[in-house]
Amino acid sequence: MTIKAEQQKLAPTALIELYEVTLKEAPANEEPFRFHTGTSGLNKNVIWRGNEYVALPIETEGFDINTQGSLPRPKLRVANVNGIFSALLRETEDLIGATLTRKRTFVRYLDAVNFPDGNPSADPTQEFPADVWFIDKKTLETRYLIEWELASAYDLQGVKLPRRQIIQNSCQWNYRDGNCNYQGSYFDKDNKPCLNKKDDTCPKTLKACEIRWCSVGGGTAILPFGGFPGATRT
C-alpha cells in the first residue's frame, strides 16, 4: 500500500516525524544527528532505512505553510536534561546555521527490526517529501529548556535566488546521498541491472531516476529528481 492510500484511510496508522540535524560546514562523511519526538506512541529509538533515530523530549510547532503573509518560522524545543544540550551548544556555536531535515512517514512503513514479529509492510520508499530548514537563532535557554527558531532556505539573510542552476533533464544530486535517498539495487551507466557495486552509477536523467525508484517502489514512488523537467526555453 502506498503512502497516499494509507493517508486516505479512515484510520491510518500513526504518523511519525523523524529529524536529522547536520552541522554547518560538517565533513561530508559525518553522520547527521538523528532523533524523533516519540509522539507517535513509539517511546523508544526507531530504525528507518537502517538509520537509528533517538527518542528525545522534543516539541516542534509552526511547520504549516500558507500562500499568504510571511514565510513560517517554526520552533524547535528540547528539554535540557542534565544540561547535556547546553554543553553541546558551547561546542557548536548554538547550532546556528545547522540544517534540520524533517522526514515523515507512517509507522507501518518502518523497518522490520522495530517490531518483535517483523513488519511485512516495511517500505523505505514510502515517505512524504522531506522539509529542509535551517537553525537561524536560539530564542531561549534555561536549565530546563532550549528553544530555536528555524528559517527556510528562502528566508535567510544574504541568500540569492536561484540557489542552483535550472537544468531540465540533469539531476544535480549526488547519487545515493541524502537528497537522492536511493538505496536500492545496483544499475550501470546504461540503466541495466548489475551485481557489482563498482559498476553502480547513475547518468542523472529523469529516465534513470524512474528506473531505479520503480525497481523498489513498484511504479508508485515519489521521485526525488534533482532537475527541473518542466523547465523550457523562453
The total of other beta-carbon atoms located within 10 Å of residue 166's CB is 10
> Is residue 62 predicted with pLDDT exceeding 90?
no
Whether the pLDDT of residue 52 is over 90: the answer is yes
| The residue type at 175 | Y
pLDDT tens digits, one per residue of 182-200: 888 899 999 999 998 889 9
Is the pTM higher than 0.85? The answer reads no
Domain boundaries, the chain: 3-151, 161-234
User: Residue 122's closest CA among 97, 105, 134, 138?
Assistant: 105
Q: Is the pLDDT of residue 228 over 70?
A: yes
SS (H, E, C) 176-196: CCCCCCCCCCCECCCCCECCC
* Predicted confidence (pLDDT) at residue 123 exceeds the cutoff of 70: yes
pLDDT average, residue stretch 38-46: 76
Lowest mean pLDDT, pick from 39-43, 84-88, 131-135, 207-211: 39-43
